[in-house]
């Protein structure tokens, strides 16, 4: 199980890329429409990554905790589903249901959205304010698969609290880590070190 860390290509205050993606049954959802009154958590995820599986239940709980605060959540699967059939769109609803994800789980088949965000791993987290500007990118918490510690979302919850309190973002947040996004042949972004 190799570990890759997020790129920090987007910096706090940068505008997040706009996108419109489909869920597994073809419903189109845009970033602006998905944003809550106080922001949006964008998570690059997939079905098979052990890092995603490790925190999937805790992510569902965190999303339910921050939704009443006006911060919505959505997940994006950008993996090459041909090379990694476990991540095919038709399998996404069952994965989301198993982990009580009550938020959209979208397919980025072109991988353009992952590239635009500078996403590098699954999971990779981007917390946006209600103006669509990045407030936080970094780890969910300090737990990892096989660490013996359950996922709890401490870093991300602290980032949400700071955003809602109009406080400064976390200084030098620890990057998210996980499995690398499975790029389609020839689609690796220019910044990607293969």
DSSP secondary structure of 152-173: --HHHHHHHHHHHTT-PPPSSP
Structure confidence at residue 71 (pLDDT): 98
3-51 pLDDT, tens digit each: 777 777 899 999 999 999 999 999 999 999 999 999 999 999 999 999 9
Q: Check which CATH number belongs to the domain holding 104 and give it.
A: 3.40.30.10
- Number of folded domains that form the chain: 1
The answer to whether the CB of 71 falls within 8 A of the CB of 39 is yes
Please say if the pLDDT value at position 191 is more than 80.
Answer: no
At 143, the pLDDT band (50, 70, 90 cuts) reads very high
Q: Is residue 84 part of a domain?
A: yes
Mean pLDDT value across residues 119-141:
97
Tokens of 128: 């946006």
Those residues whose C-beta lies under 8 Å from the C-beta of residue 109, and which sit 6 or more positions away, are 81, 89
In a domain? residue 46: yes
| % of the chain beyond a pLDDT of 90 | 84
Q: Could you tell me the two tokens for 180?
A: 């690398």
- Give a yes or no: residue 190 inside a domain: no
- The answer as to whether 172 is a domain residue is yes
**DSSP bridge pairs for 36:** 39
The parent domain of residue 163 ranges over: 4-180
């Amino acid at each position: 199980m190799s570990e890759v860390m997020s790129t920090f290509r987007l910096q706090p205050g940068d505008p997040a890329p706009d996108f419109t993606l489909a869920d597994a049954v073809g419903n189109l959802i845009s970033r602006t429409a998905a944003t809550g009154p106080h922001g949006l958590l964008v998570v690059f995820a997939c079905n098979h990554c052990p890092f995603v599986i490790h925190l999937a239940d805790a992510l569902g709980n965190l999303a339910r905790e921050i939704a009443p605060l006006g911060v919505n959540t959505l997940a994006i699967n950008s993996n090459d589903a041909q090379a990694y059939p476990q991540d095919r769109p038709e399998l996404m609803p069952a994965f989301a249901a198993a982990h009580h994800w009550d938020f959209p789980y979208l397919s980025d088949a072109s991988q353009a959205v992952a590239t635009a965000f500078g996403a590098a791993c699954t999971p990779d987290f981007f917390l946006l304010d209600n103006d669509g500007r990045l407030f936080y990118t970094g780890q969910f918490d300090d737990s990892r698969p096989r660490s013996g510690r359950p996922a709890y979302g401490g870093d991300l919850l602290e980032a949400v609290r700071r955003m809602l309190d109009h406080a400064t973002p976390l200084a030098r947040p620890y990057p998210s880590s996980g499995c690398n996004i499975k790029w389609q042949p020839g689609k690796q972004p220019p910044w990607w070190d293969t």
